[in-house]
Amino acid sequence: MVENKDGARAAKRRTENEQMEDLEAVNLAADWSDISQGLRKDLGHQLHSQWIKPIVLGGFDPATGALDLFLPTEFSANWVKDRFADRLSLAWKIARSEVRQVRISVHPGRRKLPEINLGDSRRPANDGSDSSMIAISAGSFGDNGLSAPVGLDPSLTFAAFVTGEANVLACNAAQRMAATEQPQFSPLYIKAATGQGKTHLLHAIGHAYLGQHPRARIFYCSAERFMIEFVQALKAGQMIEFKGRLRSFDLLLVDDIQFIIGKAAAQEELLYTIDALLAEGKRLVFAADRAPQALDGVEPRLLSRLSMGLVADIQAADIELRRKILESKLTRFAPLEVPDDVIEFLARTITRNVRELVGGLNKLIAYAQLTGQQVSLQLAEEQLTDILSANRRRITIDEIQRTVCQFYRIDRAEMSSKRRARAVVRPRQVAMYLSKVLTPRSYPEIGRKFGGRDHSTVIHAVRLIEDLRQRDADMDGDVRSLLRQLES
C-alpha cells in the first residue's frame, strides 16, 4: 500500500515537472520569437533568412544559465558564432536575466547537410567576406531567366492582409501598384508606426506583381541593407556593377527608409536610382515610420522624390479592426476554440500594434495546447501579463466621467448627484461599468468617485450594463463607441 502511494506521488511529481518543462519551453519560444523579429529588423530579410531563421532553440540550464542554440551545419554554426554571438547573447540577457551564456553549435540530432550557395552559381560561396550583392540578389535572374522572389515572405500576401478604416487607403494603393495597368502614382510611400502592417504590404505588392508579371525583376531590402551594400560596393570598387544591377529592376521595394538619415552618399545614389527608374516607367514603393517631411537629415531633393507620388498613411488599428485580425487568425488553430470574451479582451487591451496583438494570441494558444488547458479569460490575464502591462494606457475615472457626460450631454455634476431621473442614472451606470472595465479600481473606490456611493451600487450598475449590452443593441453600440473614444 505504501509502495502504491509512493508510486502515485512520484508519478504526480513527474507530471508536474513535465508541465513546468512545457511552460518553460513556451516562454523560451516566445522570447526567441521576439528576439528573432528584432534581428530581422536590424539585419534585413536576406541575412536573417539565411543565418538566423535556421537557428533551433535548444535547452536552458537554470543552474549554469546556459542556453543552447543549434544550427544545421558546422559552417553555419561557426559563421553565426563569429558574427552574431555577442548580439544574440545581449538580446537573450535583456529578454531574461537568468540567461548568462549562449552556446551556438551544430544540432546534435541532425545530419550535417552540405552547404548550399544561395547566390550566383558562377560565384564562389559567400563566406561573409564579400556580401556586396546579398540584398541585390533578392530579385536577380536565375539561369532560366525568370525572377526568383527570394526575400519575400510567402505568408505576407494581400489575401492575408485584414483591412479596416485604418489601413484601407494604403491597401488599395498597394494593390494598384501591383496591378497590370500602369499606376497613376509612383513612388508609393507607406507611412505607419511599428507593427501596423507596412512591411506586410511591401511583401504583398511583390507577390502580386510577380503574379501579374512572372518575368519581372524585383528588389526588396531595408534602407539599412541598401546602405551596407552601397558602402561595400564602394570599398570593393564595384559601383558600376552595383548601379547597373540596381537600375535593372522593374519593382523597387525599400523598407524602413527612415534609416537612410544622414548618409549623404547613399542618399545621392538612391536619388539617382529613383530618377532612372521613374524615367523608365518602373514602380517604386517605400515604407517608413514617419512622413517624408519628418525625415530629418535627408536632403531636400530626395524628400521631394519620396513625396511626389502618393503618401498613404496606416493609422493605429481601431478595436473593430483588431477583432477582425484576431478572428482571421483563429482559422489556423481549428478545431481549438477561443471564447468570444477572450477575443474581445485581447482586442480591447492590446492596442499598441498589430504585431503584439497577434503575438499575444499565438502565445496564449501555444500555452493552452502545450499544457492541455482550455483557453479562457483567466488564462489570458495570467499568461499575457507582460504584453498587457505594456499596452495598458492609464485611463482615469475622471476621464471616463468627462467622456460619458459629453457623450450623453449631461452636466458633469450628475456623476455625483443623488438625482434618480433615468436620463441621469443610465449614463452614471455606464460610467461605473467603464470604470470597472478600464481601470484597476475596486468597487468601493469607484463608489467613492461617484458621490460616495456604496460598493453594492457599483456592482449592480456593472451587472446591469453587462446584461443590457447582451439584449439592447443601442446600449451595446453606445458602450462600444465610448470604449473607442477612451482607448484612442
* 83 in Cβ contact with 89 (< 8 Å): no
Residue 180, pLDDT score: 84
Which candidate, 186, 195, 202, places its Cα nearest to that of 315? Answer: 195
Domain 397-487: top CATH class? mainly alpha
Residue 235, pLDDT score: 85
Residue 353, pLDDT score: 85
Q: Which CATH architecture has domain 148-314?
A: 3-Layer(aba) Sandwich (3.40)
Residue 143, pLDDT score: 32
Residue 124, pLDDT score: 31
Residues 6+ apart with CB under 8 A from 39: 48, 52, 84, 87, 88, 91
Residue 120, pLDDT score: 34
Residue 13, pLDDT score: 52
Domain 2-106: top CATH class? alpha beta
Q: Which CATH architecture has domain 319-391?
A: Orthogonal Bundle (1.10)
List, for residues 116-145, the tens digit of each pLDDT value.
222 332 333 333 333 323 233 333 333 333
Residue ranges of the chain with per-residue pLDDT less than 50: 2, 12, 110-150
Q: What is the pTM of this model?
A: 0.56
Residue 392, pLDDT score: 64
The residue ranges of every structural domain in the chain are 2-106, 148-314, 319-391, 397-487
Residue 23, pLDDT score: 59
Residue 21, pLDDT score: 57
Residue 267, pLDDT score: 87
Residue 161, pLDDT score: 94
Q: Return the ∠ at Cα 36 (arms to 35 and 41), rounded to 5°.
A: 100
Residue 132, pLDDT score: 28
